[in-house]
Amino acid sequence: MNDQKPRVLQLGRLLPWLEEQLAGHFDLVLLAQQPDPQAYLAGHGREFAGAVTSAAVGIDAATIEALPALKVISSFGVGLDKIDLQAAARRGIPVGYTPDVLNDCVADTAFTLLLDVARRASEADRFVRRGAWLNEKFPLATRVSGKRLGIVGLGRIGRTIARRASGFDMEIRYHNRRPVEGVPYGYEASLLELARWADFLVVAAAGGAESRSLISAEVLQALGPKGFLVNIARGTVVDEAALIKALQDKAIAGAGLDVYVDEPRVPEGLFALDNVVLLPHVASATHETRQAMADLVLENLRAFFSEGKLKAAAPVA
């Protein structure tokens, strides 16, 4: 790396440790701290060789356009739906992200939600806390072991979820745009047929325009009144209004959700329902995983500026 530190623009807040490391290695500017971010970009955008962001914040085409000297983007997370990959590709700007290091924790969260909603753990906790156990018996729940698990999106995280399921003796099938080579799980070309077959349907597909409302009212109807939905992907992959109606009408047995369409605003229609477990987008939120993600964000930038290539590059749009 040259004696003169590359200038890097930070979009949105990151972990304090990561911000400290970035400031030590680069000439770092946090856009949100500027009194008028748009005026700052207009006046100083040409000074930045790098940009660092997160999956939650992303970077749009207008911001990329406002950075004419931009050579690299490094993002904290695996979600790419808020990063304009096409705008970056047109400029030949590589995008770094943090795959693999969060697979285990996201898969663990998928099973946390699956077990919770099936065995009614959160509902039972509320039952005990309000003193209902003194006068009532808690209703029966649903067994998980030996059931049918359908996975929507058999990527890195989907395959890790499948391995978790083997410990519960579950039969596994999956739906992708095309079959995945070298996996022992059954491929289902039709999402509707996978939903009809599955006792549990876990969504691990990538977000973005192509997968918007992939889990539709029709898919939920196919999953049926004994089926459970778990979503640890992106809120946009599920038709949220259709899901709320399906839960209210008991058209599906229940759902476990970590993600929503308009985070952090969760639809109030979900709050009164006992057949849904709600998490605040925490699938990768462990000390160990967030540290590994921060390490990779930093390494992506350092590797690019010293070696000209990223440690982990997103697919080119």
Which positions are catalytic?
A: 234, 263, 281
Contact 112, 282 (CB under 8 A): no
Contact 1, 302 (CB under 8 A): yes
Q: In sequence order, what DSSP letters do the residues of 194-250 get, joined into one string?
A: HHHH-SEEEE----SGGGTT-B-HHHHHHH-TT-EEEE-S-GGGB-HHHHHHHHHTT
- Among residues 64, 99, 66, the alpha carbon closest in space to that of 80 is found at 99
Alpha carbon 91 to its chain centroid, in Å, reads: 26
- Among residues 197, 112, 116, 119, the alpha carbon closest in space to that of 152 is found at 197
Alpha carbon 142 to its chain centroid, in Å, reads: 26
Give the position of tokens 């946090």.
30
**How far, in Å, CA of 259 to CA of 232, rounded?**
6
**How far, in Å, CA of 252 to CA of 231, rounded?**
14
User: Which ranges in the chain belong to alpha helices (H)?
Assistant: 16-25, 37-44, 61-65, 85-90, 103-119, 121-129, 156-166, 191-197, 217-223, 240-248, 287-307
**How far, in Å, CA of 151 to CA of 257, rounded?**
15
Measure the N-to-C terminal CA separation of the chain; round to a whole number of Å.
29
Instruction: Check residue 134 and report its DSSP letter.
Output: G
Residue 27's DSSP bridge partners are 7
